[in-house]
């Protein structure tokens, strides 16, 4: 309100509304949208740096449980977390697992398979075998929607092995003596300071047989493979693996990526 020259009150004409606050919020919202769109586009085109829409997960070295990936091998939690992350990523349309592993523990394979099955409910999962994908590494691979390998890739070796060492003769020769106090007759089973007893050997064989039965039953169910073609535990080359349905196609990583995109396209139809 303003005043007249005689100091009597009067209504002043309204001035222009302030625009700075509205412009500020407009610019903030616009900038935020640009950043979000930019991140989404970068995620799509830079996923795995070179394969837009396809996430390549590397499973290399011996498999064991744990959250790690180093020169000694890779952990089931590490691989599983990557599988679930890719499965839940809307910018990933397919997953390729690059396998180069001699195998590992059955428990590690079973943990990875669980996360792999979760990923398969959301998008295709394809395996690309490198130099080797044997034993537990094949156990995992058998659950893929499609498997690629090179003609000379080593795969198969479907089986379970448990190795015990006995250096008791050397210890006796060198004068070493070990005294064991235990709560049960099998508590020190597998000790290298003495031979295994007959009962221990039978028990170890029972564990191996049970683990092998789970392994081969799962593989022959997933891949429709004749048990007699793989139950001897031998290593099989990619070329021969194709003939008995251990793998689906001969090809390298790029072929597997192209195949994964093809499967993703089929899902969209």
Give me the active site residues, please. 135, 187
Helix axes 106-120, 198-223, angle to 10 degrees: 20
Half-sphere exposure of 133 (CA within 13 A, CB side): 28
β-bridge pairing 54-60 and 73-75: unpaired
How distant, in Å, are the alpha carbons of 31, 35, 47, 102, 228 from that of 41?
A: 15, 10, 10, 37, 50
* 60 three-state secondary structure: strand
Name the residue with tokens 């935020």: 32
Supply 91's token pair.
């910018």
CA 133 to chain centre: 13
Give the span between the Cα atoms of 69 and 74, in whole angstroms. Answer: 4
Instruction: At 68, give phi and psi (nearest 5°).
Output: -160, 160
How distant, in Å, are the alpha carbons of 13, 20, 259 from that of 16?
A: 10, 12, 63
The H or E element spanning position 22 is helix 20-46
β-bridge pairing 154-156 and 73-75: unpaired
């Amino acid at each position: 309100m303003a005043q007249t020259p005689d100091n009597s009150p009067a209504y002043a004409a309204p001035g222009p509304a302030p625009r700075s606050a509205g412009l500020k919020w407009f610019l903030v919202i616009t900038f935020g949208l640009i950043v979000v769109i930019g991140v989404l586009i970068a995620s799509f085109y830079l996923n795995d740096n070179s394969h837009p829409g396809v996430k390549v997960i590397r499973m290399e070295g011996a498999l064991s449980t744990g959250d790690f990936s180093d020169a000694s091998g890779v952990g089931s939690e590490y691989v599983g977390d990557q599988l679930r992350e890719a499965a839940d990523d809307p910018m990933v349309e397919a997953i390729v697992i690059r396998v180069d592993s001699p195998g590992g523990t059955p428990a590690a394979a079973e943990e990875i398979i669980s996360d792999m099955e979760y990923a398969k409910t959301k998008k295709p999962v394809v395996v690309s075998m490198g130099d080797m994908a044997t034993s537990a590494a094949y156990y995992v691979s058998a659950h893929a929607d499609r498997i690629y390998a090179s003609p000379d890739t080593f795969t198969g070796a479907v089986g379970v092995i448990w190795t015990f060492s006995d250096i008791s003769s050397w210890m006796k020769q060198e004068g070493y003596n070990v005294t064991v106090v235990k709560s049960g007759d099998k508590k020190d089973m597998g000790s290298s300071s003495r031979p295994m007893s007959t009962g221990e050997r039978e028990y170890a064989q029972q564990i191996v047989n049970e683990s092998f039965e789970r392994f081969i039953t799962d593989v022959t169910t997933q891949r429709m493979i004749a048990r007699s073609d793989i139950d001897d535990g031998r290593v099989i080359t990619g070329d021969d693996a194709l003939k008995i349905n251990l793998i689906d196609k001969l090809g390298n990583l790029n072929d597997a990526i192209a195949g994964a995109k093809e499967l993703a396209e089929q899902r969209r139809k």
